[in-house]
Amino acid sequence: MERKYSSKINKIRTFALSLIFIGFLIMYVGIFFRTNIWLMTIFMILGLLSIIASTVVYFWIGMLSTKAVQVICPSCGKPTKMLGRVDMCMYCRESLTLDPELEGKEFDENYNKKKMNLSEKG
């Protein structure tokens, strides 16, 4: 089974977007408890906290994105941002690396872990 990879920035943005929808869903569930004001209030506050968490994640990834290394994808020629030693192109999902030791090796997200022994993946 082949695993579907995407760039780290897009994964985090997708997570933040899902927090917004989860927040709205939690608030919507709260509407069903209109007769119990405390239960409805708890659901509304939990939904609001989820949306606030999404805002924090969007702000964090925005700040992280400004510090990311921008490279030109050799496959599609578009500029894309890289986080870590290996990442994927945001457009064509080409594997990218700035580490000369990893050039030509099969893409593996584990290369971004700090204590990875390269001889294990060779």
- Residue 108: which pLDDT band, with cuts at 50, 70 and 90? low
Global pTM?
A: 0.72
- Cα-Cα-Cα-Cα dihedral sign, residues 91, 92, 93, 96: negative
Alpha-carbon span 97 to 103, nearest angstrom: 7
Q: What is the pLDDT of residues 25-77, one digit of tens each?
A: 999 999 999 999 999 999 999 999 999 999 999 999 999 888 888 888 888 88
Alpha-carbon span 42 to 49, nearest angstrom: 10
The answer to whether 91 touches 79, Cβ cutoff 8 Å, is no
Instruction: Return the ∠ at Cα 77 (arms to 108 and 82), rounded to 5°.
Output: 40
